[in-house]
A and B are shown apart, each in its own frame.
Chain A
Amino acid sequence: MKLLDNIFDRTVSGLSKSMDLTWRRNQAISSNIANAETPQYRAVEVTFGKELERAFGSGREVVSQTDSQHLDVGQNQTSRTVPDQSGATKPDGNNVDIDLQMGRLTQNSGDYMNAARLIRRQIGLIRNAIREGR
């Protein structure tokens, strides 16, 4: 991504990180929908860590944790798959809230597609510059 960063500043690498993470989240939502009626299945969700902030940030203001006893400044948190506690557990031990998941599916895919469109626009700008605006 070094070369890309030189051409596009950090926007494109930040957006592609964002696509990575929203795709991961789409996988979790898909699994929840597929297992909406599987007894004992526990819903999962993907929490976003600080990767996005890092990818978009200049990198200079990043505070690093130099000692394990220092307070966690949050810069090293990564996105994780965690249990999704938002739905009520049904008698069969399943806690998928299908309506909530369908809503998230739409929201999340919109985020993904918007990031893809923005990357396309960025590349279009460079192309425009190469062609000297013609």
Chain B
Amino acid sequence: MFNALEVLASGMAAARMRVNTLASNIANAETTKTPEGGPYRRRDVVQVAKDIPGSFSSALDRMTMKKPSIAAVTVDQSEPRKVFQPGHPDADPQGFVAYPNINVVTTMADLMSASRLYQANVTAIETARSMQNEAGRILTQA
């Protein structure tokens, strides 16, 4: 019981992290100046599947379930997109302004998919709960 919920809760946490990162990318798609200098750089999450912890779990549990987890958030190191905008406060001497390498349309699509994934995890938690409720009724309402 706890393992399934733990795995699904990790799924929710990972999906939420993904949503936050994608939202930050969309919000900063046109940000040309950051405290670190230069334009905003795209963030990507690195998600891995971990074995569930040994205490409270059987070998069969560990074979059946893996726990998603965000291992790292990477910062895009690619060359920024250069747009010719002479007179822009952040323009270089040649008149080019560096913009983040972010495609708002694909990021938006990823965002929608991540939020659907979050909902899928919530649905699975609700399902596990109704299963447990039904099992509990054997005791209380037989």
Q: How many contacts A-B (CB < 8 Å)? A: 110
- On whether A105 and B124 interact (CB within 8 A), knowing A24-B60, A34-B10, A124-B142, the answer reads yes
Q: Are A34 and B67 in contact (CB under 8 A)?
A: yes
- Assembly CA distance A91 to B137 (angstroms): 45
CA distance A41 to B10 in the complex (A): 15
Q: Which residues in window 85-137 of B have CB below 8 A to A?
A: 113-114, 117, 120-121, 123-124, 127-128, 130-131, 134-135, 137
Tell me, yes or no, whether B18 is within 8 Å of chain A by CB: yes
Q: With a CB–CB cut-off of 8 A, which chain A residues contact B114?
A: 37
Contact A116 B68, beta carbon cutoff 8 Å: no
The interface size bin for chain B is: 35 or more
Cross-chain contact of A24 among B64, B123, B128, B138 (Cβ < 8 A): B64
Q: What is the interface of chain B mostly: helix, strand, loop, or mixed?
A: helix
User: Which one of B11, B18, B138 lies within 8 Å of A33 (CB-CB)?
Assistant: B11
Does residue B83 face the partner (Cβ distance < 8 Å to A)?
A: no
CB nearest to B48 among chain A residues: A38
- Report, as a range, how many residues of chain A touch the other chain: 35 or more
The contact of B64 among A31, A33, A105, A106, by CB within 8 Å, is: A31
Is A63 among interface residues, defined by CB-CB distance under 8 A?
A: no
- Asked if A119 and B127 make an inter-chain contact with CB atoms under 8 angstroms apart, the answer reads no
Which residues of B lie under 8 Å from residue A46 when comparing CB positions?
64
Query: Could you pull out 7 A-B pairs where Cβ atoms are within 8 angstroms?
Result: A27-B3, A27-B4, A38-B49, A38-B68, A44-B63, A98-B117, A112-B135
